[in-house]
Amino acid sequence: MSDSPILVTGGAGFIGSHLVDALLAKGYAVRVLDNLSSGKPGNLPLENPRLELIVGDVADAALVLRAVAGCQAVAHLAAVASVQASVDDPVSTHQSNFVGTLNVCEAMRQHGVKRVLFASSAAVYGNNGEGLAIDEDTPKAPLTPYAVDKLGSEQYLDFYRRQHGLEPAIFRFFNIFGPRQDPSSPYSGVISIFIERAQQGLPITVFGDGEQTRDFVYVGDLVGLLLRALELPVLEVGAANVGLNRATSLNQLLAEIAGVLGGLPQVTYVAARAGDIRHSRANNQRLLSRYGFPEPTPMAMGLAQLLAH
Ligand code: NAD
Ligand code: UD2
């Protein structure tokens, strides 16, 4: 294993910090570039001498060029992950979510770094494929600036692949959950919100009848996948969905939480959110054939990890 670091942009965030832990555990040196807008230094084992934290913005091209220098690969996870923030402030989030990706591509080209993992989103499909297991060829219908920037980032990565030999592994994450997911916004991941409120005995709000479904993936399983993509000798072209092809309704989720916690606070059902997707589930054939996906962490076990956090 080369001693040159893996750059993890957004490495102080929820998913990024789990990837950093896993990389360090495998013996990699890691460099994190994060502006700490939602990430926290406390998510990182800063005492580890094989970890370097650069506090700064992926929209800063000169800084990204310095951060990529000497790295063997990049995991590009930095983004404003809140879809609502992109709706409220498209210009600012575009800097992080699109310009940041272009800066990473260009810095990799200049330094001759090839392998890059990219965190795209199921949001690129919009409402298309709703109710079906969505496959990667489903027509794209990005409905928000967040989704437009993710799709544009995917396309830039593909341009740099064709033109400059970059090796992008593009993943469209469905609903990822686990420890360190920040529950502080109403638009945070539903599991992080429900667990925090249940632990504090605060009432839980369900938007709609609770029969909407999502394809939840435990963050530890996602990280295993990212490591495999980093180390595969050859990557196939095109994005892969990251989901389990498994629909869990919010009512089922609440039952699981009640099982793990031994009860629930009051649950109130209010009107569904405008534009909320009813059913979202990944066709994950491509993921399985390319990267494999060992037995996923059962929901109850993932929730228990979250509670222990
Ligand atoms: P997160 O907010 O915890 O992590 C994002 C990290 O990026 C944070 O540490 C933040 O400080 C950093 N960041 C944001 N803008 C930056 C900038 N301009 N420069 C440098 N750092 C910046 O969110 P997360 O859930 O860990 O998301 C990680 C990635 O996965 C994001 O790209 C997100 O869009 C994508 N994603 C997540 C999910 C999910 O279910 N959590 C679903 C689809 C896609
Ligand atoms: C996810 C992603 C989003 C985008 C989108 C694409 C997260 C956090 N969000 O949105 O970034 O990629 O997929 O389709 O991963 N809910 C409640 N009560 C609450 C909070 C949420 O009922 O307190 C409902 C919400 O209305 C929705 C479901 O829970 O029906 C899941 O909500 P979410 O915000 O966790 O995720 P989602 O799929 O809407």
Catalytic residues, by residue number, are 146
Question: Counting beta carbons within 10 angstroms of the beta carbon of residue 25, is it exposed (0 to 12), middle (13 to 18) or buried (19 or more)?
Answer: exposed
Q: Looking at the predicted structure, is the pLDDT value of residue 1 above 80?
A: no
Q: What pLDDT, in 10s, does the model give residues 252-265? A: 999 999 999 999 99
Give residue limits of the domains in the chain.
6-176+216-242, 178-214+246-282+297-308
How many Å apart are CA 209 and CA 213, to the nearest integer?
11
Q: What's the whole-number mean pLDDT along residues 165-172?
A: 98
pLDDT of 276 over the 90 cut: no
Is 178-214+246-282+297-308 the same fold as 6-176+216-242? no
Average pLDDT over residues 211-239: 97
Kindly report the length of the chain: 309
Buried b (16+ CB within 10 A) or exposed e, 193-226: bbbbbbeeeeebebbeebebbbbbbbbbbbbbbb
Position 281 scores a pLDDT of 96
Q: Please tell me the CATH superfamily of domain 178-214+246-282+297-308, with its number.
A: UDP-galactose 4-epimerase, domain 1 (3.90.25.10)
Residue 244 pLDDT: 97
- Cα–Cα separations (whole angstroms), residue 166 to 9, 112, 171, 234, 263: 17, 9, 15, 12, 50
- Closest atom of ligand 2 to 273 CA is 26
Q: Which of 91-105, 207-221, 294-308 has the lowest mean pLDDT?
A: 294-308
Q: How many CA atoms lie within 13 A of 152 on its CB side?
A: 16
Q: Strand 73-76 to strand 133-134: parallel, antiparallel, or no bridges (unpaired)?
A: unpaired
Residue 2: band (very low, low, confident or very high) from pLDDT cuts 50, 70, 90: confident
The residue among 123, 118, 159 whose CA lies nearest residue 141 is 123
Q: Is the CB of 212 under 6 A from ligand 2?
A: yes
Ligand nearest to the CA of 85: 2
C-alpha 263 to ligand 1 mean position (Å): 32
Ligand nearest to the CA of 214: 2
Q: What percent of the chain is predicted at pLDDT more than 90?
A: 92
Atom of ligand 2 at shortest range from CA of 121: 12
Q: How confident is the model over 28-47, as pLDDT tens digits? A: 999 999 999 999 999 999 99
* pTM score over 0.95: yes
Q: Output the CA torsion sign for 194, 196, 198, 204.
A: negative
Q: What crossing angle do the helices spanning 299-308 and 190-200 adopt, rounded to 10°?
A: 60
CA 303 – ligand 1 centroid, Å: 21
| C-beta pairs of 43-47 under 8 Å, 24+ apart in sequence | 43/12, 43/13, 43/14, 43/17, 43/180, 44/11, 44/12, 44/17, 44/20, 45/20, 45/21
Q: Which atom of ligand 2 is nearest to the CA of 82?
A: 11
pLDDT by residue (tens digit) across 97-154? 999 999 999 999 999 999 999 999 999 999 887 788 999 999 999 999 999 999 999 9
With the most atoms of ligand 2 within 8 angstroms of its CB, the residue from 175, 194, 266, 278 to mutate is: 175
86 CB-contact burial (10 Å; exposed 0-12 / middle 13-18 / buried 19+):
buried
Residues with CB under 6 A from ligand 1: 9-10, 12-16, 33-39, 57-59, 77-81, 96, 100, 119, 121, 173, 175-176, 182, 189
Domain covering 6-176+216-242, topology: Rossmann fold (3.40.50)
Choosing from 93, 180, 190 the residue with most ligand 2 atoms within 8 A of its CB, the one to mutate for a pocket test is: 190
